[in-house]
Each structure stands twice: as C-alpha cells, then as structure tokens.
Homo-oligomer: A and B are copies of this chain.
Amino acid sequence: MPDSRTKIAELLRSTAPGTDVVVKGWVRTKRGNKNVAFIAVNDGSIIHNIQIVADVARFDDSLLKKITTGSCIKVEGRLVESLGSGQPVEVQAERIELYGTADPETYPLQKKGHTLEFLREIAYLRPRTNTFGAVLRIRHAMAYAIHKYFNDRGFFYLHTPLITGSDAEGAGAMFQVTTLDLNNVPKNDAGEVDYAQDFFGKPCNLTVSGQLEGELGALALSQIYTFGPTFRAENSNTPRHLAEFWMIEPEMAFYELEDNMELAEDFLKYLIRYALENCADDLAFLAKMYDGELLERLRFVVENDFVRLDYTEGIEILEKSGEKFEFPVSWGLDLQSEHERYLVERHFKKPVILINYPKEIKAFYMKQNEDGKTVRAMDVLFPKIGEIIGGSQREENLDKLRARVDELGIPQKDIWWYLDTRRWGSAPHSGFGLGFERLLLFVTGMANIRDVIPFPRTPKSAEF
C-alpha cells in the first residue's frame, strides 16, 4: 500500500521484533510516570491497540502533554517484545509526530465507558470506539462474504433501481422522490399535482424491494442477486426498524422451493462460519461486552441442520404447546416473533424453515399450491431474532399469476412488464430476501438495529 506505515493488525501478528516500524493512529489512552509514557494507539485495522513506550527524557514535554485520548499521532520506533502490555509486541518510540490534538475538555470520547444511546447521538464519532470498530469490521466482513459466496457460485450481482415508478411491490409504505417545489406544488387543470413537471414525469418512490426486477434478471442470466439499500416509510420507532436498510435478494431460475431452502441454509451457514473464522477478535470483544451467549448461538446455527416444516404442522405444535402467547394461535395467523422463537428455541432447539403458508398472509407472486389455500413460501427462523429470511418459489404460470393479481386488485397496467416474463420463456424460479442489518443483529449480538448501521435513518432522525 502506498503510505509507509505498518498497520497495527499486521504489527501484532509480527514475529520479527527488532525491526524499525512506523505506526499511525489514534490515542486510546496514555499513562505512565515521570520516566516513561505508555501510549495505547489504535488505527481501526484491528480491535487491539499497540502499546507505544516513550522514554520521557527523549521527547519534548509540550509534545507529550498534547498526546491525549483521541489525538492522532505518527510514531517511528522499534518493534520489541513486550513484557507487560498484554500483547506480544510493543513499539519503543524514537520519533513522534502529532497530527491532530483532541482537547480533553471538549472531546466526547474520553476513556470512560459510554452508553450506546449516547454513542448513537454522536454517530459521526462512534466508529472510533471499540464497539463500533468491531461492528463495522464485522459488517464489512459479512458484506464481502456475501459477494464472495455468490460470485464463487456463478451468481451475477444485479443493481436493481432505487427510484421506482412502480408501487406494486407491496412490501410497505414508500418515500416519494420529487424535484417539485413543495412550497409551490404545480397543479393541473383538475387541481391535482402536475406530475408532468416532476423530474420523471410521474410520481416516483424509493424502492421497498428489488425482487420484481431481480426476477427479470434471473429469467435471463439464471442466477442473480441484489445487494442494495431499501426503504420503508413506516413510522416505527423500534429497535428492529430502519427507514433505510440494506437487503440481499438472490433470485434463481430453475430453483424450486426445495432448492431455495438448500441455498438459504447453505448461505447462512457460510456467512456465520465466515464470521467465526475471520472476525474472531471482534466477536470475542462483543461477546464479552454485550452478549455472553453470542459465540454459542453462532455455532448452534452452523452445527445444526435446519428443521423443515409445514406451516400447518407448525401451527399444530404451537396449539398443543400449552403456551400462553400474546397473539392466540390458529391456522391463518401471521406468526409473530414469540411463535417463531418458541418453535426454534424451545420446541426444536434448531433453526427452522417454515414453508407452505396461507396465501392470504403472503405476497401475490408466490407459487400457489394445489390445495388452493397455501403458497410455496418459506421463512427461515433463527434463535433470538425470529425470521431472518423470507422467500418463496414464484408463480411462473401467467394465468394463475394474473388471477391472483386481479383478486388482490393490483392494476395489471402497473406490472405489465413483470407479467410479461411469464408470457415469454417462463421458467420455475425462486428467491429470497435477507435483511442485512437483521443478519448483523444476529452475528454481532447487538440488540438495537441502529447500532449495526453506520448512520441510522429513523422517524424524525436523519443526522450526518
């Protein structure tokens, strides 16, 4: 890499003490006595700090005084074995350059612990903390693993549009996108908004799902996946909702529901195994600080076959459970987190894939079963968080799809292009959606979804 420093992640793996090194990073703490200063420096490459040992006599007093928590420094020195720092090596400083100070009177991230609520208010600074360094490194690792998984298996990454003129996606409330002047909205003769003057010449929204366009890709390239931002304008101020989040939606021609289940299970296990193998230090830190059962829960998913079960059987189990649920159980119920977690955590003690849901509680595009009542939907249910993946085989028969669209009152003129894919060269196909932040909640053990995305967007909040 161009710049001359060695990353701390690399230094801490080094087996060559005695070499001259250059370290750059931010000071986490400084302690010491009148002879020697111990400066813990972090550069974000790894959760651990490297200890800089500075012989006080060798450095200008005023320089050392300015090296406080949060300041940024460059250190040239010698990498030596460490006896006391808790790390195998430390750096004996020869030269120190101060890049940027951090006045202890004003800098908010002093050594003391901070609540996650406080850190959320200063989201622009929280990547400098251990917790958010760990979360963001894991977020990166998971994003990379997703691309690697699909690339290695011949899936093509398809960028579906964010701005959409279609409102048939039906997955939730939408944000409108406009260039009209809200102080002076142009009206037509009928007194309605004159969308001919808007940028796209019609009302447009931010997408709630790339699936419909994803299917267009799959029915040409066989296997595609999306990985992009998705939006919901729902006024839900909860630890599980964001107005802007990232979603992964693979879509595969020639996959039936069984293939879809196999892919979903293999995919999730791959991602979690990748985290266990590549993010061990960050996971250990988060487990220690926030969630003692985190590693156990991750291994639980990797090591168990997922149970595959009909919705109808799931309902029977819940009815016979003798549990008192907040939402009473009966066939037709849209399962709540309490039901999902009962099946996973108490009954099967394994992840569960529930299939063949009542058509009334699922989307119009799902493949209809022969029974006339259920569709080939699948939800993957996980411990602690409930549904982590939702998917289905898609209805590939044009007549059946049209009939369902009409039944639900969706105007065919809004999705003529989607219907056309069943008109010409239709094929059995399937897909699913994984909410990226939902995955990260599971992998990091964090409890609030606002803590697994760098800059959360929620009702009344779009800071930084």
> Chain A: residues with CB nearer than 8 A to chain B?
1-3, 5, 7, 9, 24-27, 43-45, 70-72, 74, 99-103, 106-107, 124-125, 127-128, 132-133, 136-137, 139-140, 143-144, 147-148, 151, 153-154, 156-166, 173, 175-180, 182-183, 185, 192-193, 199-204, 206, 213, 216-217, 219-223, 228-229, 231, 233, 235, 243-244, 246, 252-256, 258-260, 262-263, 396, 417, 420-428, 453-455, 457, 459-464
Known interface pairs A160-B455, A182-B193; 14 further A-B residue pairs with C-beta atoms within 8 A, sorted by A's residue number = A3-B254, A72-B253, A99-B425, A99-B428, A100-B424, A102-B424, A106-B424, A124-B417, A162-B229, A163-B231, A175-B199, A176-B182, A199-B460, A229-B229
A180 and B182: CB pair below 8 A? Answer: yes
User: How far apart are the CA atoms of A180 and B254 in the complex, in Å?
Assistant: 42
A235 CA / B197 CA spacing, docked (Å): 12
> Do B220 and A133 touch across chains, with their CB atoms under 8 A apart?
yes
Kindly list chain B residues whose C-beta atoms are within 8 Å of the C-beta of A103.
Answer: 423-424
Instruction: Report 21 cross-chain contacts, Cβ distance below 8 Å, ordered by A residue.
Output: A3-B254, A3-B259, A24-B254, A24-B427, A74-B254, A100-B426, A101-B424, A106-B423, A125-B216, A127-B217, A132-B220, A136-B158, A136-B217, A159-B453, A161-B454, A175-B178, A177-B177, A177-B206, A183-B185, A183-B192, A200-B460
Q: Within the assembled complex, what's the spacing in Å between the Cα atoms of A140 and B253?
A: 18
CA A254 – CA B92 in complex, angstroms?
21
Do the beta carbons of A140 and B157 come within 8 Å of each other?
yes
Chain B residues with Cβ below 8 Å from A162 are 162, 229, 231, 244
Q: Please, which residues of chain B bring their CB within 8 A of the CB of A256?
A: 3
Contact A99 B165 (CB under 8 A): no
- Top 5 nearest A-B pairs (CB, nearest first) are A100-B426, A44-B221, A2-B259, A127-B220, A102-B424
Q: A7-B154, A70-B425 are in contact. Are A125 and B420 (CB under 8 A)?
A: yes
Residue on B nearest A415 in the bound complex, by CB: B464
Contact of A157 among B3, B106, B144, B462 (CB under 8 A): B144
Kindly state the separation between the CA atoms of A396 and B99 in the bound complex, as whole angstroms: 9
Which residues of B lie under 8 Å from residue A158 when comparing CB positions? 136, 140, 454
A154 touches B45 (CB 8 A): yes
Is the pair B200, A462 in contact by a Cβ cutoff of 8 Å?
yes
Q: Specify the chain B residue showing the minimal Cβ separation from A200.
A: B462
Oligomeric state, in number of copies?
A: 2
Find out whether the CB atom of A165 lies under 8 angstroms from the CB atom of B462.
Answer: yes
A213 contact set on B, CB distance < 8 A: 124, 454-455, 464
Contact present for A233 and B199 (CB under 8 Å) = yes
Does B220 lie within 8 Å of A128, measured CB to CB? yes
- B2 and A163 contacting across the interface, CB-CB below 8 Å: no
How far does the alpha carbon of A264 sit from the alpha carbon of B163 in the complex, in Å?
30
Chain B residues, CB < 8 A from A27: 425
**In the complex, how many angstroms separate the beta carbon of A234 from the nearest chain B beta carbon?**
9
CB atoms of A396 and B3 under 8 A apart: no
A137 and B221 contact, CB distance less than 8 A = yes
Q: Is B253 within 8 A of A24, CB to CB?
A: yes
The answer to whether B161 and A455 touch across the interface, beta carbons within 8 angstroms, is yes
Residues of B within 8 A of A26 (CB): 220, 425
Q: Determine the residue in chain B with the shortest Cβ distance to A252.
A: B3
- A216 adjacent to B124 (CB under 8 Å): yes
What residues of B have a CB within 8 angstroms of the CB of A246 in the complex? Answer: 159
Instruction: Name the B residues within 8 Å of A5 (CB-CB).
Output: 254
> Across the two chains, which residue of chain B brings its CB closest to A424?
B102
Q: Using Cβ atoms and an 8 Å threshold, which residues of chain B touch A260?
A: 2
